[in-house]
Amino acid sequence: MLPEVEVWLRERTTASADWPVGALLAAKRAHAATISVVLPARNEAETVGDIVAAIRRDLREEVPLVDELVVVDSRSTDGTAEVALRAGAKVFAQDEILPALGRLDGKGDVLWKSLAVTSGDLLVFVDADLREFRTSYVTGLLGPLLADPSVVFVKGSYDRPLRDAQEAGGRVTELVARPLLNMHWPLLAGFVQPLAGEYAGRRAVLERLPFATGYGVELGLLIDLLEAEGLGALAQVDLGRRVHSHQSTEDLGVMAGQIMHTAWARLDRQCKMVPLHTPAAELTQFARGEVGHLPVARDISIGERPPMRDVPDYPGHHRSTPNPETQPTL
């Protein structure tokens, strides 16, 4: 590990317990900051309601820390939007946000579009499939941003159990993302969970970044933030234990492929390599059939949304007004 990364680890790593909610509320008021929490969700009806309800209860009703609580629904078919709405979130459909820009797939597109339907100076992103959720995830991520104006982005770290194995989660992190970062962006080697879906940032910075539309969005944001802001502007917070639903090995293969595509694009953009070909957008996997193993082709291509500040219809120019008939009554 580089010496400057060792220093960064000591100076920019904290724990959620270091940031009591009362101190955060005082800092928020002192800075006149507004805060939006965003949950990207696709078929998460089983868990999204509990997360929304906890944030609403603890960080809006008991303590007025969070100003906006938004779920962006990514074409769910299980009633995710209805559950989130009943629990107290503002709910927006992915394809109804900036529709003139066309339809793209992937988590990154959902996160990018959330910039257009929120107004907070600080944004906190939380995955909607979390179990055993605690609102200290939100307060922990906000802590460094409210305490230090030089910090622009905070990444969550945690233990990820896989069934009975305490630290067996994060297979794509350990097999793909961490090796890529250590090889090509070693200044980012200190991030414990570079693919974490829990992170927070300043709107003024996030709207200047492109967003990869697939599962590479988290890796892409880290790399782009390092280039734009420097390591000292980034921090991480230990959130403790994170329990969520796990994807199949086949789905993790698609995730790995999209992360590799994202890294490739940034190696090219940063002139860290001389590309002699275009990487294939198809991943061939195999499934056992009646007559042996049958090939299954999966699309691992990614798109990219431009920096939001460059979009003519960005509500920084005119902000979308939520339909009051679809919003909860507080």
Structural domains present in the chain: 3-310 (3.90.550.10)
In percent, the amount of the chain with pLDDT more than 70 equals 92
Helix residue ranges per DSSP H, the chain: 3-12, 21-31, 48-56, 80-87, 107-114, 136-147, 171-172, 178-184, 203-206, 217-229, 249-269
State the pLDDT at residue 204.
97
Q: Residue 330 and residue 89: Cα distance in Å, rounded?
A: 10
When mean pLDDT is compared across 65-74, 164-173, 271-280, 292-301, the lowest value belongs to 164-173
Q: Kindly report the CA angle at 62 between 58 and 63, in degrees rounded to 5?
A: 85
Q: Residue 48 and residue 82: Cα distance in Å, rounded?
A: 10
Q: Residue 119 and residue 125: Cα distance in Å, rounded?
A: 14
Write the CB contacts of 248 (distance below 8 Å, at least 6 apart in sequence): none
Return mean pLDDT, the chain.
92
Q: What digits encode the pLDDT tens for the residues 20-72?
A: 999 999 999 999 999 999 999 999 999 999 999 999 999 999 999 999 999 99
Inter-residue contact 211 to 110 (CB < 8 Å): no
Q: Residue 154 and residue 12: Cα distance in Å, rounded?
A: 9
